[in-house]
Structure 1
Amino acid sequence: MPDPPVMTGGTPFPRSPLVLRLGSLLIIGGIWEVAGRTTLGERLPPLSRVISQLVTELGTAEFWNAAAITGTALGLGLGVSLLGGIVFGVVNGALAWLERSTRVFARAMVALPLAPMIPILISMFGLGTSVRVAAITVFALPIIFEYTTAGVRATDRSLTAMARVFHASRWMTYTRVILPSAAPSILAGVRLGVGRSVVGMVVAELVIVSTGLGALLRRAQALFVPEAVFAYVLVFLGVGLLLVRGIGLIEKRTVFWT
């Protein structure tokens, strides 16, 4: 007869990821609120004031007009990065000689900071929407390209050999064998690329050309309205988290075999 379970007493610590995340947010928010109500209040406004300012900004047409400008550039830049990074990454991964030729350049682009590229981007694209799209692409495309190439190169050769045994066409080999095998790596690159695209968008609107939400943030900074500055920072942070979370959900639903 098995021994009865030993009761250790006490309340078990919650292990749900949602509970842990909410708990972390509450702790950070509480620390922020308390710090904002001390002598740091002039530079770090309380979280309650930041949220109140955010609600006020969300109720203005100016905010949504600026959000449309920012969202257009982000959507175009992310679209170019996804299409170019995945397509060229698949081709690069499929051709060993091409992958060897581009390896150093691709890794350099991933590590390259945007600052040295700003004069080049301005001289090539001017100061319109195209330069912001280019900045976002420079941030996001290389990492997507790198991860896609790595995923294709890591495909098990026995799987492609089996496809040839069954007389699968080149198209079927790629769509039924190589791409599904590389999908986890591709989506990991997309998730990182999406996060980097938001960083590129912020840099473009704050450093290259002041427009969209970046212009509103700079105006709040110039007028020394710290709660508005932090409100716009929360907006950028929220956009990045939502995009990354969305890619994560897509990854869970599509790459179920991992």
Structure 2
Amino acid sequence: MHLFGYRLPGMSSLLLWGALWEFIGQAKVTFFIPPLSKVLSTLYEVLGTVAFQNALKETAYAFCSGVLYAVVIGIIVGILMGKNRLIDELLLPWVNVFLSAPLTALVPVLMVLFGFGMKSIIITTSLFAVWIIILNTRAGVRQINRSLVEMATSFGATPLKAFTKIYFWAALPEILGGVRIGIIRAVKGVIIGQLLISIVGFGALFELYSA
């Protein structure tokens, strides 16, 4: 069943959790859970402040830059891995390691190498997003019908044209799937970067309002 375009079971669950949150907050069961109404009123006040607008700009810049680098690098590396067996055998183990590894542990290394500024935050964001994009792009390329590439080559297509005209577009559905998941992971990366590397953006707001 739907109401105003929303599924009723999902809406009911959301309303139930909201009511439970409000009840626990009003009952003061724990200091760590304020009432939902107070959270929403405080959020409304924060949204209009200069601090929030500055934090939004800083976080959006770091997030968009990190995702852009991750998408470009992920697509290029993924296509190379999908079409070249040697490159695939060399890089695939490392891609799998970094995809499953706790990347937060690498943040101190990035701080030593690149300092405490925006560069380290952008790199952290990219590291969280790039690996799944590489794997999805690789999977998409490996599913391409090789006869398409052979036919293009027989008609004089250069490796660059095959790269841009065949591999990219044929693997696009898998690439977009990887980008979608990568964007979700990048949100985690940019917040972790702002909390651990440099207390700026939304990371600074989290520190301020959790104190």
Structures share a fold, TM > 0.5? yes
> In structure 1, which of residues 30, 38, 43 is the aligned counterpart of residue 27 of structure 2?
38
Match of 1:225 in 2: none
The answer to whether residue 89 in structure 2 is matched with residue 75 in structure 1 is no
1:168, CA displacement in angstroms? 6.1
* Distance in 2 separating the partners of 1:176 and 1:131: 34
Counterpart AA for 1:47 = L
Match of 1:89 in 2: 78
Contact 2:124 2:189 (C-alpha < 8 Å) held by counterparts:
yes
1:94, CA displacement in angstroms? 1.8
Match of 1:107 in 2: 96
Match of 1:241 in 2: none
Match of 1:227 in 2: none
Match of 2:184 in 1: 195
Structure whose CA Rg is larger: 1
> In structure 2, which of residues 127, 142, 163 is the aligned counterpart of residue 153 of structure 1?
142
Contact 2:117 2:197 (C-alpha < 8 Å) held by counterparts:
no
- Per the alignment, do residues 71 and 97 of structure 1 end up closer, same or farther by CA in structure 2, a change over 3 Å counting? same
The answer to whether residue 2 in structure 2 is matched with residue 27 in structure 1 is no
Q: Which runs of 5+ in 2 are unaligned?
A: none
The answer to whether residue 174 in structure 2 is matched with residue 185 in structure 1 is yes
- Per the alignment, do residues 54 and 16 of structure 1 end up closer, same or farther by CA in structure 2, a change over 3 Å counting? closer
Counterpart AA for 1:217 = F
Q: For the aligned residues, what is the CA RMSD?
A: 2.3
1:152, CA displacement in angstroms? 0.9
Contact 2:70 2:126 (C-alpha < 8 Å) held by counterparts:
yes
Residues 147-183 of structure 1 deviation map (CA, whole Å, 9 limit, x = unaligned)? 1112111212244345456x26245544444323211
**1:135 is paired with a residue of what secondary structure?**
helix
* Distance in 2 separating the partners of 1:40 and 1:208: 34
* Distance in 2 separating the partners of 1:29 and 1:176: 50
- Per the alignment, do residues 172 and 131 of structure 1 end up closer, same or farther by CA in structure 2, a change over 3 Å counting? closer
Match of 1:216 in 2: 205
Q: Report the identity percentage.
A: 33
Residues 173-230 of structure 1 deviation map (CA, whole Å, 9 limit, x = unaligned)? 44444323211211111011101111011111112221111111111112xxxxxxxx
Question: 50-59 or 37-46: which moved more?
Answer: 37-46
1:19, CA displacement in angstroms? 2.0
Q: Which runs of 5+ in 1 are unaligned?
A: 1-12, 223-258
Counterpart AA for 2:143 = A
